[in-house]
Amino acid sequence: MNERSFRPSTPTDYGSDFHDSRSTNLIGRHNLRTRIRLCLLALSALLMLACSGESPGGSTSPTTPAISPTTAGSTSPTTPASPAAAGGELTVYAAASLTQAFEEIATGFEADNPGTTVVYNFAGSQQLAQQIVQGAPADVFASANDKQMGVARDGGKIEPDAAREFVRNRLVVVVPKSNPAGLKELKDLAKPGIKLVLAAPEVPAGQYSVAMLDAAGDPTYGADWKKRVTANVVSYEENVRVVLSKASLGEADAGVVYESDAAGAKGVGRIVIPESLNQVASYPIAPVSGSERAEAARRFVEYVLSEKGQATLEQYGFIPVGR
């Protein structure tokens, strides 16, 4: 009775867990130090993880469409011999903006070259160039600008005269379908308070965007136009595709992307940039020197430059070369 009378006065119910807590205490007490040490060990391992940093930018998407031998045989008149040299995997490092067009080009190329499978690594050109210079196993490099092709060339990974322009691209302003900021023309990018997303200056698309803003500012829209536009920038994305995503999600009021990005995108409206102010992006492609699949690499470059390849690229909003 005496003992029981204490119980109700305590607000928490200790009774039910009493034995449990006691047994954990026995373990806990003796091992407290070991536990803390273990904790810290785990902690330091974790920290190393944190320091190493993840890199979600470079997405590798191997394309493995089924090859039907019947259609393949009939459409490869130029390459009748040496099927052994054509076999295997061809690794193509391509600018992120080429993603959709190159997926289709792979299907066409594989049909023309039975036994060869194209494997892509799509990412920002600057990242690809770095990876290639560091010795990544690329067979072909398709860059979104000459600068990054130059990085790979200076790194000794591309022969001096190997790079050829294979496609062009222009910039366009994209807005969410609902167009929350009510933007109508390029000039409106300076409208105070809008949320503008650009590609980072580290990325070719970002460099072209800056050049476009420079060209459009003085004298067309006034000296401080670029400054006001830059003040509206809420984020510099590390990949031009992310700019498109943020615009189509409605998180940004506007973004500047390539025509080819906007062409295949649902959920965005486009604001055309006047021809005289726009920038023409020139894409070079080249086989990577020292590749074990040099012959297949050369053939891939040929295919991209062929009528078929160019038609595919045009279909995805690119401007074919020679026009």
Partner 1 sequence: MVASSPSEGDTRAFGVRRLVALRLRRVHWWKIALVLSSLPMLLFLTVPLVALGLRISPSRVLSNLFTTPVAQAISLSLSTTAITVVLSVVAGTPVAYLLARGSFRGNALLDTLVDLPMVLPPSVAGIALLVAFGRVGLVGSRLDDVGVSIAFTQVAVVLAQTFVAAPFYIKAAAAGLANVDRELEQAAALDGAGGLQVFRYVTAPLAWTAMFGGAVMTWARALGEFGATIIFAGNLPGRTQTMPLAIYLGFEIELDVALTLAAILLAASFSVLILVKGILRQRVRML
Residues that bind partner 1 (CB under 8 A): 6, 9-12, 14, 16-18, 21-22, 24-25, 28-29, 32-33, 35-36, 39-40, 43-57, 124, 126-127, 130, 195, 197, 200-203, 233-238, 246, 249-251
Is 52 or 74 the residue whose CB approaches partner 1 more closely? Answer: 52
Q: How far is the CB of 21 from partner 1 (least distance, A)?
A: 4
Is 187 or 195 the residue whose CB approaches partner 1 more closely? Answer: 195
Is 189 or 297 the residue whose CB approaches partner 1 more closely? Answer: 189
Is 76 or 130 the residue whose CB approaches partner 1 more closely? Answer: 130
Is 140 or 203 the residue whose CB approaches partner 1 more closely? Answer: 203
Q: 198, 280, 284: which is closest to 239 by C-alpha?
A: 198
| Helices within the chain (DSSP H only) | 18-52, 69-74, 83-86, 99-112, 125-133, 146-154, 204-216, 225-231, 240-249, 259-263, 294-305, 307-315
- 317 in Cβ contact with 98 (< 8 Å): no
57 phi, psi to nearest 5 deg: -65, -45
Q: How far is the CB of 219 from partner 1 (least distance, A)?
A: 28
Q: How far is the CB of 48 from partner 1 (least distance, A)?
A: 6
Q: How far is the CB of 89 from partner 1 (least distance, A)?
A: 26
Q: How far is the CB of 234 from partner 1 (least distance, A)?
A: 4
Distance CA 140, CA 162 (A): 11
Helix, strand, coil percent values for the chain (each to nearest 5):
50, 20, 30
